[in-house]
Amino acid sequence: MAQTRINVPALYAALDAARKSKNLSWRQLAAEVGCSPSTMTRLANGYRPDADAFMTLTQWLKMPAEKFWISEEGASQDDEQPELLAEVGVLLRARKDLGEEEKQHLQNVLEAAMKLHATQRAARNR
């Protein structure tokens, strides 16, 4: 049976992006998340968080824990990616800060952009 471990660099990068978007220091982020600053330091140094800290971090990020798993073979659990529009649609529908019209508009814009990109890519490959 293949073992699964935490992709610490990916978790740290997600936390760093969230920290920067909220204009927080690492100490402030730790306080907001509800974990110790030493947990953040351990992540920065490449050490895995304990199970409780991992769940707290992923819940605060509002991301599934599976996003940060790596199998024994080194393949990320994300290697088999779902259809982008389907994944984004789920994320958009989950947003509480957007109205239904805004969600639909964003979905339509993304669909149009992806169709344009696919057409351009097909033209380049001819």
Bridge partners of 71, per DSSP, are 4
Q: Do 29 and 63 have their domain in common?
A: yes
Domains in the chain: how many in total?
2
Whose CA is closest to 56, among 78, 20, 74, 31?
31
> How much is the mean pLDDT over the chain?
85
Q: Which residues contact 39 (CB under 8 A, 6 or more apart)?
A: 30, 49, 53, 57
Q: Do 22 and 47 have their domain in common?
A: yes
The predicted structure's pLDDT at residue 95: 82
The predicted structure's pLDDT at residue 27: 96
| Rounded Cα distance, 121 and 126, in Å | 9
Whether 94 shows a pLDDT value over 90: the answer reads: no
pTM score, two decimals? 0.60
Provide the residue range defining the domain that includes 112: 84-124
Query: Quick one: 58 exposed, middle or buried, by C-beta within 10 A (0-12, 13-18, 19+)?
Result: buried
Q: Is residue 79 part of a domain?
A: no
Q: Do 60 and 97 have their domain in common?
A: no
Q: Is residue 8 part of a domain?
A: yes
Q: Is residue 77 part of a domain?
A: no
- Residue 15 vs residues 19, 50, 71: alpha-carbon distances, Å: 6, 16, 21
Whether 101 shows a pLDDT value over 80: the answer reads: yes
Q: Do 23 and 55 have their domain in common?
A: yes
